[in-house]
């Protein structure tokens, strides 16, 4: 009972602790000893010596990440019970492109079995991703107004991607030589929902003599949702079971990895994860629109002209809002088609070097390149990895994540009999969520049986 | 049961302490800080003399043009003033730290137009700030026969800085005076041509106040 209580307290500590920290992608899991999760980031790497590893639904853990190019405190503060949104500070703190992303992953099941120099694995994982981006000009427009865009027009874009899919993965790892391991994983993907804004370009031209405002929009979107976009009222009839078991949107992806030891103490490794696509067919909808309208103000001639009479009816004078509404119609004149479309997967590229000093300690440098929708983000982690037998492992390091330089990463695992608890994050420096631009937590439990003798 | 409750309370405590939720829950008011200066066209149009004839009904009566199409009018009234007092709602002006109204005209109609605005405090019946006095429409170039021979471009800017806006915020009504007058010419007649015109573009530049935090 006392042991159970201690385990509980440890979990509480992890949950409470990791709720306060930040991260992009958790590079430390790549090097954390004793845990099978490293194999998910490089299928050639096996960081534990158990014969069988199993993850079960809901106990296997969660992976949740929020990432921003700015922290909430960059533009938000509370003073005298007033919430202040300061767009001046926000404009000064963000770069040319800003984005917000959120991902969630939950393994339903994972089984890995090792025999001789081989390991085979199978897993089912739920994955969800939301990402949106725009450029600095949108914040500049809100902060400085359109006076800043008289000489040069305001031009911005808005990008948004939402993916919800499930992956069924079969993996194989083999130690070809004492110094060389390779691995791969083939994934069958079933898409559940997608929103892909391929482009949404917005321009605002302001006449230097206040004579006009010209608003131009050019958009192209692909959607695959549980409802047909033409019948929004069907939203009340969505059947959750049908939604979660949708198998009409098929895709595929591969993971590849290799690990090489030029000298026994040094391990060089690289991997590519989630290289693939999904073909979306369920309620696949393609929407395009393009148009502009020019606002020149209220047309005063109407007050001086005789009302028009058509079919003995006097046509009432045009109201300004009606003028605006008529102009906006062109912009929102959507062209809707129903054709299947494809989306690429969020691909990760890892490169790592790890130097082992002795049985208990190693130092590592790991770089992760995240590639999605023509955008790149980078996370570099320098870490020290401690291993006390097969029971406890701790990795701690410093990470540079995009333009964020204040990230102290931490990951740990504790094995008690066949149960192993693990948790990881990319930053423990910030203790308040409003101060963070990155928030990530990955924790869970592995069942680990048997032992491979090195 | 008691231990379970302690564990749940520990989780809630750790979570709320770490996420600023306690502070966020105290928020009673939201304000936005920006340096925004916004340019907005308000009105535009072009008034042709022919339209004035049509609307006024002059086209329908026996009003004969000469061989060049000019209509001859006597200078019965050379100046006409219109003045009145309007109540003034200062809600909008309170939100501004800078205001500019730009009125651009091109005029070929034999007419000039001036505007005067005076802000008053009704309680003590005193003028507030300096009056606004502008040439709304400048007269065209006229010849000896009283014909407009060239249009005149005019840009008038009414600019209110923070000090003036603060003064006008106390106002409860505005006195306005519009002064219509015929342009200076040696002729005792004014010649009006249907192609004479007045084009107008009115736009505004406003800068919003930064919110002042209440103690």
pLDDT one-digit tens code per residue, A333-361: 889 999 999 999 999 999 999 999 998 99
Q: What residues in A contact B33, CB-CB < 8 Å?
A: 84-89
Interface of A with B in 354-413 (CB under 8 A): none
Contact B27 A83 (CB under 8 A): yes
Interface of A with B in 106-145 (CB under 8 A): 142-145
CB of A287 within 8 Å of a chain B CB? The answer is no
Q: In a mutagenesis test of the B interface, which of A8, A83, A295 is the best target, namely the one with the most B β-carbons within 10 Å? A: A83
Sign of CA dihedral A163, A164, A166, A172: positive
Q: What residues in A contact B211, CB-CB < 8 Å?
A: 84
CB of A17 within 8 Å of a chain B CB? The answer is yes
Say how far apart CA B215 and CA B211 lie, in whole Å.
Answer: 12
Q: Which residue of B has its CA nearest to A208?
A: B39
Q: In a mutagenesis test of the A interface, which of B26, B45, B159 is the best target, namely the one with the most A β-carbons within 10 Å? A: B45
Q: Which of A81, A297, A301 is facing B42, going by the closest CB pair?
A: A297
Q: Are A71 and A432 in contact (CB under 8 A)?
A: no
Contact B34 A207 (CB under 8 A): no
pLDDT one-digit tens code per residue, A298-316: 887 776 665 556 566 555 5
Provide the pairing of β-strand A285-295 with A249-263.
unpaired
Contact B40 A207 (CB under 8 A): no
pLDDT one-digit tens code per residue, B140-181: 998 888 888 999 999 998 888 888 888 888 888 888 888 888
Contact A78 B24 (CB under 8 A): yes
Going by C-alpha positions, the residue among A330, A329, A305 that lies closest to residue A317 is A305
SS (H, E, C) chain B: CHHHHHHHHHHHHHHHHHCCHHHHCCCCEEEEECCCEEEEEEEEEEEEHHHHHHHHCHHHCCCCCCCCCCEEEECCCCEEEEEEEEECCCHHHHCEEEEEEEEEEEECCCCEEEEEEEEEECCCCEEEEEEEEEEEECCCEECCCCEEEECEEEEEEEEECHHHHHHHCCCCEEEEEEEEECCCCCCCEEEECCCCEEEEEEEEEEEECCCCCCC
Q: Are B177 and B81 in contact (CB under 8 A)?
A: yes
User: What percent of chain B clears pLDDT 70, i.e. is strictly above it?
Assistant: 82
- pLDDT of A275 > 80? The answer is yes
Residues A370-395: b if buried by 16+ CB within 10 A, e if exposed: bbbeeeebebbbebebebeeeeebbb
Give the pLDDT mean for B13-22.
Answer: 55
Interface of A with B in 150-209 (CB under 8 A): 150, 206-207, 209
pLDDT one-digit tens code per residue, A427-450: 776 555 666 667 778 889 999 999
Share the mean pLDDT of chain B: 80
Instruction: Return the pLDDT at A311.
Output: 61
Instruction: Count A/B contacts: CB-CB distance under 8 Å.
Output: 160
Report, in angstroms and rounded to the nearest whole number, the Rg of chain A calculated over CA atoms: 27
Share the mean pLDDT of chain A: 84
Instruction: Return the pLDDT at A433.
Output: 60
Instruction: Return the pLDDT at A17.
Output: 33
Domain ranges of chain B: 33-208
Q: Which residue of B has its CA nearest to A20?
A: B18
- Label residue A413 left, alpha or beta by phi (over 0 means left) and psi (-120 to 50 means alpha): beta
Say how far apart CA B94 and CA A37 lie, in whole Å.
Answer: 60
Contact B213 A19 (CB under 8 A): no
Q: What residues in A contact B27, CB-CB < 8 Å?
A: 78, 81-83
Instruction: Return the pLDDT at A8.
Output: 36
Instruction: Return the pLDDT at A179.
Output: 94
What ipTM was predicted for this assembly? Answer: 0.73
Pick the more confident residue, A240 or A110. Answer: A110
- Label residue B169 left, alpha or beta by phi (over 0 means left) and psi (-120 to 50 means alpha): alpha
Give the pLDDT mean for A48-66.
Answer: 87
Contact A211 B44 (CB under 8 A): yes
Q: How far is A403 from chain B (nearest CA, A)?
A: 23
The tokens describing A293, both together, are 């309208």
Report, in angstroms and rounded to the nearest whole number, the Rg of chain B calculated over CA atoms: 29
What angle is formed at CA A361 by the lines to CA A398 and CA A368, rounded to 5 degrees? Answer: 40
Contact A5 B44 (CB under 8 A): no
What angle is formed at CA A57 by the lines to CA A19 and CA A280, rounded to 5 degrees? Answer: 90
Say how far apart CA A349 and CA A326 lie, in whole Å.
Answer: 49
Which helix H or strand E contains A220, and what residues bound it? strand A213-224
Exposure of B176 in the CB half-sphere (CA atoms within 13 A) = 10
Residue A405: other Cβ atoms inside 10 A? 9
Least confident interval from A251-255, B21-25, B127-131: B21-25
Say how far apart CA A435 and CA A95 lie, in whole Å.
Answer: 17
The tokens describing A291, both together, are 């148009």
Confidence of residue A19 (pLDDT cuts 50, 70, 90): very low
Pick the more confident residue, A38 or A317. Answer: A38
- pLDDT of A22 > 50? The answer is no
At A166 the three-state DSSP class reads strand
Least confident interval from A74-78, A182-186, A318-322, B87-91: A318-322
Q: Are A105 and A62 in contact (CB under 8 A)?
A: yes
Q: How far is A306 from chain B (nearest CA, A)?
A: 6
Q: How far is A309 from chain B (nearest CA, A)?
A: 15
CB of A240 within 8 Å of a chain B CB? The answer is no
CB of A324 within 8 Å of a chain B CB? The answer is no
Q: Are B209 and B94 in contact (CB under 8 A)?
A: yes
Instruction: Return the pLDDT at A162.
Output: 94
User: What percent of chain A clears pLDDT 90, i.e. is strictly above it?
Assistant: 47
* Residue B134: partners with Cβ closer than 8 Å, 6 or more residues away: B103, B114, B115, B116, B156, B158
Q: Which residues pair with B79 in a beta bridge?
A: B181
Pick the more confident residue, A165 or B68. Answer: A165
Q: Which residue of A has its CA nearest to B156?
A: A209
What angle is formed at CA A62 by the lines to CA A58 and CA A65, rounded to 5 degrees? Answer: 160
Q: Which of B7, B43, B205 is facing A12, going by the closest CB pair?
A: B7
Contact A434 B20 (CB under 8 A): yes
Q: What residues in B contact A87, CB-CB < 8 Å?
A: 32-34
CB of A297 within 8 Å of a chain B CB? The answer is yes
Q: How far is B17 from chain A (nearest CA, A)?
A: 8
pLDDT one-digit tens code per residue, A106-159: 999 999 999 988 999 999 999 999 988 888 888 889 888 998 898 889 999 988
Q: What residues in B contact A294, CB-CB < 8 Å?
A: none
Least confident interval from A160-164, A422-426, B71-75: B71-75
Q: What residues in B contact A64, CB-CB < 8 Å?
A: none
Contact A5 B3 (CB under 8 A): yes
- Label residue A311 left, alpha or beta by phi (over 0 means left) and psi (-120 to 50 means alpha): left
Confidence of residue A399 (pLDDT cuts 50, 70, 90): confident
- Taken as a whole, chain A contains a residue count of 454
Contact A82 B29 (CB under 8 A): yes
User: What percent of chain A clears pLDDT 70, i.e. is strictly above it?
Assistant: 86
Pick the more confident residue, A134 or A176. Answer: A176
Q: How far is A27 from chain B (nearest CA, A)?
A: 24
The pTM (predicted TM-score) of the whole model is 0.75
Residue B116: other Cβ atoms inside 10 A? 15
Contact A210 B23 (CB under 8 A): no
Report how far apart, in Å, the C-alpha atoms of A359 and of each of A386, A390, A392 are: 9, 11, 13
CB of A57 within 8 Å of a chain B CB? The answer is no
Contact A300 B44 (CB under 8 A): yes
């Amino acid at each position: 009972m006392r042991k159970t209580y201690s385990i509980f307290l440890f979990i509480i500590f992890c949950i409470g602790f990791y709720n306060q920290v930040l991260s992009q992608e958790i590079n430390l899991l790549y090097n954390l000893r004793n845990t099978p999760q490293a194999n998910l980031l490089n299928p050639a790497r096996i960081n534990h010596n158990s014969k069988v590893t199993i993850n079960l639904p809901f106990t296997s853990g969660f992976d949740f990440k929020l990432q921003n190019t700015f922290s909430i405190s960059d533009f938000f503060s509370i003073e005298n019970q007033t919430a202040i949104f300061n767009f001046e500070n926000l404009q000064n703190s963000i770069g040319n492109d800003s984005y917000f992303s959120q991902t969630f992953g939950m393994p339903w099941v994972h089984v890995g079995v090792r025999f001789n120099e081989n390991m085979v694995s199978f897993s089912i994982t739920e994955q969800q991703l939301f990402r949106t981006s725009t450029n600095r000009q949108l914040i500049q427009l809100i902060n400085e107004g359109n006076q800043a865009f008289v000489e040069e027009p305001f031009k911005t874009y808005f990008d948004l991607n939402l993916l919800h899919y499930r992956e069924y993965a079969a993996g194989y790892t083999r130690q070809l030589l004492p110094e060389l391991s390779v691995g791969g994983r083939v994934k069958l993907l079933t898409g559940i929902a997608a929103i892909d804004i391929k482009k949404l370009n917005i321009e605002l031209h302001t006449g230097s003599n206040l004579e006009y405002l010209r608003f131009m929009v050019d958009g192209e979107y692909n959607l695959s949702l549980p409802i047909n976009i033409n019948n929004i009222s069907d939203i009340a009839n969505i059947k959750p079971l049908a939604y979660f078991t949708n198998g009409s949107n098929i895709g595929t992806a591969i993971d590849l990895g290799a690990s090489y030891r030029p000298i026994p103490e040094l391990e060089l490794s690289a991997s590519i994860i989630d290289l693939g696509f999904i073909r979306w067919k369920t309620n696949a909808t393609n929407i395009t629109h393009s148009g502009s309208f020019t606002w020149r103000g209220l047309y005063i001639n109407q007050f001086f002209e005789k009302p028009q009479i058509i079919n003995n009816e006097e046509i009432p004078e045009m109201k300004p809002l009606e003028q605006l509404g008529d102009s906006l119609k062109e912009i929102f004149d959507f062209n809707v088609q129903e054709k299947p479309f494809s989306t690429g997967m969020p691909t990760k590229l890892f490169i790592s070097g790890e130097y082992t000093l002795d049985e208990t300690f190693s130092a590592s440098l790991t770089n992760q390149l995240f590639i999605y929708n023509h955008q790149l983000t980078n996370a570099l982690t320098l870490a020290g990895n401690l291993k006390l037998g097969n029971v406890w492992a701790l990795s701690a390091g410093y990470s540079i994540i995009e333009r964020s330089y204040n990230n102290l990463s931490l990951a740990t695992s504790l094995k008690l009999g066949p149960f192993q608890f693990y948790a990881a994050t990319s930053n423990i420096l910030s203790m308040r969520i409003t101060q963070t631009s990155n928030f990530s937590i990955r924790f869970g439990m592995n069942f680990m049986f048997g032992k491979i003798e090195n | 049961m008691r231990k379970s409750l302690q564990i749940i309370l520990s989780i809630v405590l750790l979570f709320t302490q770490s996420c600023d939720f306690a502070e966020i829950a105290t928020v009673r008011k939201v304000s936005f800080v920006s340096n925004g200066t916004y340019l907005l066209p308000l009105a535009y149009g072009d008034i042709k003399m022919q339209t004035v004839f049509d609307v006024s009904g002059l086209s329908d009566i026996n009003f004969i043009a000469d061989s060049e199409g000019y209509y001859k009018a006597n200078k019965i009234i050379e100046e006409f003033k219109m003045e009145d007092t309007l109540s003034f709602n200062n809600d909008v002006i309170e939100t501004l730290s800078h205001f500019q109204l730009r009125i651009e005209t091109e005029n070929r109609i034999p007419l000039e137009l001036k505007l005067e605005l005076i802000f008053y405090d009704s309680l003590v019946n005193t003028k507030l700030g300096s009056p606004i006095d502008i040439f709304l429409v400048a007269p065209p170039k006229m010849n000896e026969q009283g014909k407009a021979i060239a249009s005149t471009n005019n840009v008038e800017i009414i600019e209110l800085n923070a000090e003036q806006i603060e003064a006008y915020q106390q106002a409860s009504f505005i006195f306005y005076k519009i002064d219509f007058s015929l342009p200076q010419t040696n002729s005792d007649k004014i010649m009006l041509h249907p192609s004479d015109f007045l084009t107008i573009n009115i736009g505004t530049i406003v800068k919003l106040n930064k919110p002042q935090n209440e103690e």
